[in-house]
């Protein structure tokens, strides 16, 4: 078991009608001038925008809006948000949406206070220069997936250079996260499915570890992965079941606040591999993970077969048959995981998202290991050729 330090200051507020309290949470933080960040406008159709605006207006809070956040959120919009903050003397960033919106809000909250905005992406996202000051921020979550509402990370894509990179810092935690399960009722099925794949992935990246003597952490991870594996498909069939939506939101936040990974060396190769899929093929992050994870498992499982056997046994309820060897059981497990993704309508091969052959894989592997990176992952440390080989397995 590894030494660790864990702290997650975000106030998690989960329940019916909790959006109404957003203004009181902002005021309790001493803020009054809000940048409200959101996406394509679905929050205007499902009533979330109105609920949020009503709470802010009723409390007399001033707010400006920044809309148009896309999946794999763009750096350009971050810059636009920083301009709005500065031009209007705003003191709080409120994200209303999913991970892309929250990540944009986090990047704005940091970008607004950096000395040199011109080199912000190069310095902090690519170069690893620490962020030292941020604005206060909160989230109203509408898509359980990225876990950004309770995480220290934010991932932004710079479309000019093609890099999708993240900043991890304690300062990234939102002050509060409001999770109203009814906000998910109108989510498209595909987004619900992508969210479940992403939530599972955040736990898999932490679970598949060579750290020993982590029995407690193993059991809790296995239980949490089992929960999303069982509840995800049920939610696909019952999209307006309050308790299913509530539990998936809860798991999503727990999956990525790093409590589950606190005492373990984590992997994250699959996320690095996937980020290049999103950039190259413009696929949703969760769908990209559904493609990458089975291929990654096939490539690396021999580095620690016990972890894979335990995952398939304890989180996916598979029983090893008499005479079935490890290798056969693990392959059966990977197929069951693929079937789980497919049951929710997700792709499991690169050809399903537009790849015709392996022509892009060298470039994608090069990008995945650029900047200050040398190898990917920890369960098995992967170099350039390993990444290409995993992309090939995913074709």
User: Which residue of 222, 267, 276, 386 would you call a contact of a second copy, by CB under 8 A?
Assistant: 222
User: Which residue of 8, 126, 303, 318 would you call a contact of a second copy, by CB under 8 A?
Assistant: 8
What is the residue-wise DSSP string for 209-224? ----S-HHHHHHHHHH
User: How many CB atoms are located within 10 Å of the residue 119 CB?
Assistant: 13
User: Which residue of 79, 126, 220, 389 would you call a contact of a second copy, by CB under 8 A?
Assistant: 220
User: How many CB atoms are located within 10 Å of the residue 302 CB?
Assistant: 12
173 vs 391, beta carbon nearer a second copy: 173
Q: Is the Cβ–Cβ distance between 138 and 25 less than 8 Å?
A: yes
DSSP summary character for residue 261: T
Residues in the interface with a second copy (CB under 8 A) total 42
Q: Is the Cβ–Cβ distance between 146 and 99 less than 8 Å?
A: yes
163-168 vs 153-158, strand pairing mode: antiparallel
User: Which residue of 126, 259, 318, 336 would you call a contact of a second copy, by CB under 8 A?
Assistant: 259
Applying the rule CB under 8 A, the residues between 299 and 358 that interact with a second copy are none
Binding status of residue 18 toward a second copy by CB under 8 A: yes
Least Å from the CB of residue 377 to a second copy: 23
| Residues 395, 387: Cα–Cα separation, whole Å | 13
190 vs 242, beta carbon nearer a second copy: 242
Least Å from the CB of residue 245 to a second copy: 10
Binding status of residue 1 toward a second copy by CB under 8 A: yes
User: Which residue of 151, 214, 278, 280 would you call a contact of a second copy, by CB under 8 A?
Assistant: 214
User: How many CB atoms are located within 10 Å of the residue 322 CB?
Assistant: 5
| Residues 55, 48: Cα–Cα separation, whole Å | 11
The CA distances from residue 351 to 238, 356, 393, in Å, are 30, 6, 11
Of residues 281, 296, 294, the one with CA closest to residue 353: 281
Q: Is the Cβ–Cβ distance between 141 and 151 less than 8 Å?
A: no
Binding status of residue 197 toward a second copy by CB under 8 A: no
Binding status of residue 372 toward a second copy by CB under 8 A: no
Stretch in the footprint of a second copy (CB under 8 A) among 1-9, 158-166, 276-284, 302-310: 1-9
Binding status of residue 224 toward a second copy by CB under 8 A: yes
Residue 78 makes CB contacts below 8 A (sequence gap 6+) with: 104, 107, 108, 111, 156
Q: Which residues pair with 34 in a beta bridge?
A: 63, 92
Binding status of residue 90 toward a second copy by CB under 8 A: no
Binding status of residue 14 toward a second copy by CB under 8 A: yes
Binding status of residue 227 toward a second copy by CB under 8 A: yes
Binding status of residue 33 toward a second copy by CB under 8 A: no
147 vs 377, beta carbon nearer a second copy: 147
The CA distances from residue 215 to 201, 254, 323, in Å, are 20, 18, 27
Q: Is the Cβ–Cβ distance between 345 and 193 less than 8 Å?
A: yes
Stretch in the footprint of a second copy (CB under 8 A) among 85-93, 249-257, 266-274, 293-301: 249-257
User: Which residue of 70, 83, 230, 310 would you call a contact of a second copy, by CB under 8 A?
Assistant: 230
User: Which residue of 215, 306, 319, 372 would you call a contact of a second copy, by CB under 8 A?
Assistant: 215
User: Which residue of 157, 247, 258, 378 would you call a contact of a second copy, by CB under 8 A?
Assistant: 247
Least Å from the CB of residue 64 to a second copy: 28
Least Å from the CB of residue 213 to a second copy: 3
Residue 378 makes CB contacts below 8 A (sequence gap 6+) with: 209, 210, 265, 266, 267, 268, 269
Least Å from the CB of residue 248 to a second copy: 8
Sort residue 317 into left (φ over 0), alpha (ψ -120 to 50) or beta: left
Helix (H, G, I), strand (E, B) or coil at 62: strand
Stretch in the footprint of a second copy (CB under 8 A) among 36-44, 104-112, 202-210, 255-263: 255-263
- Residues that bind a second copy in the complex, under the rule CB under 8 A: 1-16, 18, 212-217, 219-220, 222-224, 226-227, 230-231, 243-244, 246-247, 250-251, 254, 259, 262-263
């Amino acid at each position: 078991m590894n030494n660790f330090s864990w702290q997650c200051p975000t106030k998690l507020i989960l329940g019916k009608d909790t959006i109404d309290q957003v203004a009181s949470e902002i005021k309790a933080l001493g803020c009054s001038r809000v940048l409200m960040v959101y996406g394509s406008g679905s929050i205007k159709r499902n009533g979330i925008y109105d609920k949020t605006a009503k709470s802010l207006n009723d409390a007399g809070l001033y707010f400006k809006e920044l809309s148009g956040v896309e999946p794999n959120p763009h750096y350009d919009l971050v810059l636009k948000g920083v301009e709005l903050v500065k031009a209007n003397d705003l003191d709080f960033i409120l994200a209303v949406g999913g991970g892309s919106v929250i990540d944009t809000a986090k990047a704005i909250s940091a970008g607004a206070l950096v000395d040199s905005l011109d080199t912000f992406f190069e310095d902090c996202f690519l170069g690893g220069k620490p962020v030292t000051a941020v604005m206060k921020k909160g989230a109203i979550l509408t898509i359980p997936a990225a876990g950004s509402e309770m995480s220290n990370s934010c991932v932004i894509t710079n479309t000019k250079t093609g890099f999708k990179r993240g900043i991890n810092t304690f300062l990234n935690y939102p002050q509060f996260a409001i999770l109203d399960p009814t906000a998910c009722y109108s989510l498209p099925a595909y987004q619900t499915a992508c969210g479940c794949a992403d939530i599972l992935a955040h736990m898999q990246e932490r679970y598949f570890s060579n750290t020993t003597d982590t029995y407690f952490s193993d059991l809790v991870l296995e239980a949490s992965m089992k929960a999303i594996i069982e509840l995800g498909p049920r939610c696909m069939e019952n999209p307006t079941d309050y308790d299913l939506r509530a539990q998936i939101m809860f798991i999503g936040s727990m999956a990525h606040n790093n409590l589950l990974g606190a005492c373990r060396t984590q992997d994250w190769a699959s996320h690095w591999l996937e980020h290049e899929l999103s950039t190259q093929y413009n696929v949703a992050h969760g769908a990209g993970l559904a493609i990458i994870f089975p291929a990654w498992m096939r490539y690396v499982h021999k580095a620690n077969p016990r972890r894979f056997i335990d995952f398939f046994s304890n989180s996916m309820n598979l029983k090893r048959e008499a005479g079935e060897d490890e290798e056969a059981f693990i392959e059966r497990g990977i197929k069951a995981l693929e079937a789980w993704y497919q049951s929710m309508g997700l792709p499991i091969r690169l050809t399903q998202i537009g790849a015709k052959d392996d022509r892009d894989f060298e470039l994608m592997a090069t990008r995945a290991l650029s900047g200050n990176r040398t190898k990917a992952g920890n369960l098995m440390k992967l170099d350039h050729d390993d990444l290409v080989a995993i992309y090939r397995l995913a074709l």
